[in-house]
Amino acid sequence: MDKTHSRQPVESPRVEGELRLAGALDSRMMGLLRAIAHTGSINQAAKQAGLSYKGAWQMIERANNLSPKVLVATSTGGSKGGGTSLTAAGQSLLNLFDELEARHRQFIDQLNCQLLADPEAMLLLKPLAVKTSATNQLFGTIETISAGVVNTEVAVRLKGGERIVATITNQTVAAFALAQGGTILLIINAPEIGVAKAAECGRLSARNCLKGVIIRLQQEEVDSEVVIRLPGGDSLVATITRLSAEALGLTLGTTVYAIFKSNAVMLALQPPER
């Protein structure tokens, strides 16, 4: 059938779909990466991509956290951000997405040609969307699994070598079929993370204490959002009171510790490949 049939008026049955990789890497994210490659500035890239400065930062932090390799390299440089560039992995991902997107458009066109010959097939298509409100999502590898009578401690290494310990029930371990060397997604809500300076980790009962540098600080009327960049490239977002942030004297570039208990860490399995 001629491909011109895929350009029928809007009342004709038509399949539409957006290419999305790993749940978060879509054309919007790739547009931001492309703008970063062209401008070398997160501020300018955000404008080109039609995003707020904060929104662009959040997208970059999420992409960096979920990727086995850092995609975007940044340096702190004040309220407008410092130099920003794609890493080799980021450029490779952008090139891959462009190639897949071209094939995806061809597939959609071919599918619509088939559906125009059999409109009832449209009834088999159902929209699918997976969303989460979790602030921090980190990709890691299971290092050790230490079972107890009731609970199990799971130690996970992030791509930069940082270690996070999660405490979950033994039933969850069995249900997830967790194994050493397996990949896992760590989910931590921002209010569960405290911020400390100096070597306060040893005086606190929290199992996880990760050193990093503040790369973004948003002061609200009551709360403050603190984004901490870990040495390996992952980022953690902590929500603390504004009074606490002021008492600690937090500023961009300050070295701090992200502190949270092991039971504040939730685990999620990535869907199996098909």
pLDDT (tens digit, 9 = 90+) per residue, 206-218? 889 999 999 999 9
Contacts of 243 (CB under 8 A, 6+ apart): none
Contacts of 145 (CB under 8 A, 6+ apart): 152, 153, 154, 155, 173, 178, 179, 180
Domain boundaries, the chain: 1-131, 136-268
What are the start-end ranges of the H helices in the chain? Answer: 27-39, 42-48, 53-66, 88-117, 170-176, 242-248
How far lies 93's CA from each of 18, 121, 126, 217, in Å?
17, 34, 28, 29
* Range with top average pLDDT, 2-16, 40-54, 61-75, 101-115: 40-54
pLDDT of residue 69: 86
Say if residues 88 and 28 touch (Cβ distance below 8 Å). no
Token pair 């992030």 in the structure block, residue: 158
Give φ, ψ of 244 to 5 degrees. -65, -40
Token pair 């547009």 in the structure block, residue: 31
Q: What CATH number does the domain located at 136-268 have? A: 2.40.50.100
Tens of pLDDT, residues 91-125: 998 988 888 888 878 877 776 777 666 655 544 44
Q: What is the mean pLDDT of the chain?
A: 81
Max Cα distance, the chain (Å) = 72
In words, the CATH class of domain 1-131 is mainly alpha
d(CA 120, CA 84): 49
Tens of pLDDT, residues 63-87: 888 888 888 887 765 554 458 889 9
Tell me, what DSSP letter sits at residue 248?
H
- Under DSSP, is residue 5 helix (H, G, I), strand (E, B) or coil? helix
CA atoms in the 13 A half-sphere facing the CB of 141: 10
d(CA 158, CA 110): 41
If you average pLDDT over residues 227-239, what whole number do you get?
A: 94
Number of H helices, E strands in the chain: 6, 12
Query: Which residue in 200, 252, 260, 205 sits closest to 226, CA to CA?
Result: 252
The answer, as to whether pTM is greater than 0.85, is no
pLDDT of residue 200: 65
